[in-house]
Amino acid sequence: MDNGTRPLIVAANRLPVRWTDEGWETSPGGLVRALIPLLRESGGTWVGWNGTVGGHVDPFEVEGVSMHPIALDADDVSRYYEGFANNTVWPLYHDAIRDSTFDGAHWQRYRDVNERFAVTLANVAPNNAVVWVHDYHLQLVPGILRRLRPDVAIGWFNHIPFPPLELFQRLPWRSEIIEGLLGADLVGFQRDLGARNFVAAAHQLVNVVGDADDHWLHHDGHSTMVGAFPISIDVDEFEERAAGRETRRRAAAIRARLGDPEVVLLGIDRLDYTKGIGSRLRAVGDLFDSGGLDPHRHVFVQVATPTRDGVDHYAEERHEIERLVGAINGDHARLGYPVVHYLHRTLDLDELVALYRAGDIMLVTPFRDGMNLVAKEYVATRLDDDGVLVLSEFTGAADQLSEAVLVNPHDPHSLTDGISAAVDMHRHDRRARMSAMRATIHRHDVTHWADGFLKTLGAR
């Protein structure tokens, strides 16, 4: 079956738009760039929250695509979004790095908002449409939508990890989540590990039929396929930006402002406790202490994009990061030449690409991540095939970018050894590794990811 002949409806917690002085415009990001043309071609609709609290917003159109807002009031945001999605599911699905909150009122509001999404999708989806639901905010939508609209093909994709059974079982509403997801025809994960975890949970918690090694699950008269579909980026866009004269000028200016060091180490993350920024800084500090890094030759730049500043865990993480930055600079900086440059702000894409071009070594060391697109973005900008990626084993990107220097972020020695190996790596080795990684992301870009998922869903 050709998905191009069927209307595509996308549902995600947020609409892919932002408000500017000129009106609504699409937000940046590879997912948006991959799906907007497909929606436009099929006459489809994107359903999601527009980010404002309270009030009704009528459907509107951006770049030829219909946007259908879901209204959320302050209580919805507090209980469904901040409560259940981000205080219950997020930490649990990231190896329970922080304790989850299990609150019945949050769960009830999560169910209510998921039903609101499902009813809206049932109303806007044309006959025989393809509905693609995204991420952990909307895990109940497939099951509700299946009951309301059995004629539509339903796919669900998880952008974050899916936990092993022993962690998932902590969730009081674990069976309801599994049954909700089994309403989909296709359930997709970033890694095969996530798919296997989901299959194991389904066999343990609900009455499914099928071999535990087979990614087909049969439940309540419906069959669901489970698979891994690793997401990627718009490689062409990053290469075009990286090749631009202005980007090259900015990258040179960045290195000059850093004092023209021999090696620039770089970290770019959301300020989130899953990203392992503190452990990374401790490793960098240990290397400066031991002489593995030289304050006259090496500089580390860490960008931490603000997120959820009002949540205690995130405020604590920021405080610890800033304490570590101050301690390292206090011990090793020279007057006017800090060894760690720390930015707590959001940078636009042009600024990020210039930083990627300026960085010789990229440190991507989260404790757990579904994919981590920063790793792929850095690789895409290395037009000369030079540079080193130090990458956590616990990212989806590690499955594809195996030529990176892979490290265990939970092990301080693994981190320091990996950074040292990257600093000391011979240019021929650097180029061979980077060339192989660049070939991988060219073969598997974001369009390849979207096409692969939708064709699999269409083949159902």
* Residue range 162-197, pLDDT digits in tens: 999 999 999 999 999 999 999 999 999 999 999 999
Specify whether 52 is located in the same domain as 161. Answer: yes
Task: Match 């879901």 to its residue by tokens.
Answer: 70
pLDDT reported for residue 26: 83
Q: What is the domain extent for residue 301?
A: 235-443
pLDDT reported for residue 5: 66
List C-alpha distances in Å: 384 to 109, 250, 427, 437. 51, 17, 11, 13
Specify whether 240 is located in the same domain as 211. Answer: no
List C-alpha distances in Å: 69 to 19, 47, 51, 53. 13, 6, 9, 12
pLDDT reported for residue 309: 62
State the CATH number of the domain containing residue 100.
3.40.50.2000
Specify whether 325 is located in the same domain as 202. Answer: no
Specify whether 329 is located in the same domain as 225. Answer: no
Specify whether 81 is located in the same domain as 107. Answer: yes
Q: What is the pLDDT of residues 318-345, one digit of tens each?
A: 999 999 999 999 999 999 999 999 999 9
Q: What is the pLDDT of residues 261-308, one digit of tens each?
A: 999 999 999 999 999 999 999 999 999 999 999 999 999 999 999 987
First to last CA, the chain: 8
Specify whether 132 is located in the same domain as 116. Answer: yes
Specify whether 148 is located in the same domain as 272. Answer: no
Specify whether 168 is located in the same domain as 257. Answer: no
Specify whether 384 is located in the same domain as 451. Answer: no
Number of domains in the chain: 2
Specify whether 212 is located in the same domain as 255. Answer: no
Nearest C-alpha neighbor of 131 from the set 156, 157, 154, 158: 154
> In which band, very low, low, confident or very high, does the pLDDT at 54 lie, cut at 50, 70 and 90?
confident
Specify whether 170 is located in the same domain as 267. Answer: no
CA dist., res. 75 & res. 94, Å (int): 25
Instruction: Determine the 3-state secondary structure of 227 from DSSP.
Output: strand
Specify whether 75 is located in the same domain as 104. Answer: yes
- CA 189, distance to chain mean position in Å, is 12
Contact 183, 221 (CB under 8 A): no
Task: Please give the average per-residue pLDDT across 210-222, as a whole number.
Answer: 84
